[in-house]
Amino acid sequence: MTYSEQLADLKRKIKLKFKTLKHFGECNEIEYKELNKFFAQRLNPIVADMMFKSLENVLRVSEPCLSEKEIPKEDRENLRVRIFLNYRSVDKFIVDNPSFSKSFISNVISGRRVRKDLRFNRLKEAVHTLAPMPELK
């Protein structure tokens, strides 16, 4: 296997486990800029070889972390439960809250939208101003 194939394989493994190079860097305190230089093969060959070996080791022992910018599973589940208990469907929620689109809410609930941002905060605020969650029996 050539060096460029090994690099491509390492990058694929990182993306498989961490989804993005940036997330891999955040979880392991590695600057994204350095990772980018490494994978673009803009480093000294000796430094690149040492970095390749260390990245393989880091990948082997590290686990994906939850970034501060990511929506926790508990928040997703809480939003889903509150919307469906109070409105029975996303469509009925949208009628009362037209500033949100069905696709946005569905993506947040399903996990396809992973980043916390202003829209997510507004959604969370709108859902939490609903009546308190009813007790499940």
pLDDT of residue 10: 93
**What's the pLDDT tens digit per position in 51-97?**
999 999 999 999 888 777 788 889 999 999 999 998 899 999 999 99
pLDDT at 109: 93
Is residue 82 a contact partner of residue 133, using CB atoms and an 8 Å limit?
yes
Determine what percent of the chain is predicted with pLDDT higher than 90. Answer: 46
d(C-alpha 7, C-alpha 55), whole Å = 10
Residue 77 confidence (pLDDT):
92
Q: What share of the chain is helix, strand, coil (3-state, %, to 5)?
A: 65, 0, 30
Flag whether the pTM goes above 0.85.
no
d(CA 80, CA 86): 10
* Residue 48 pLDDT grade (very low, low, confident, very high; cuts 50, 70, 90): confident
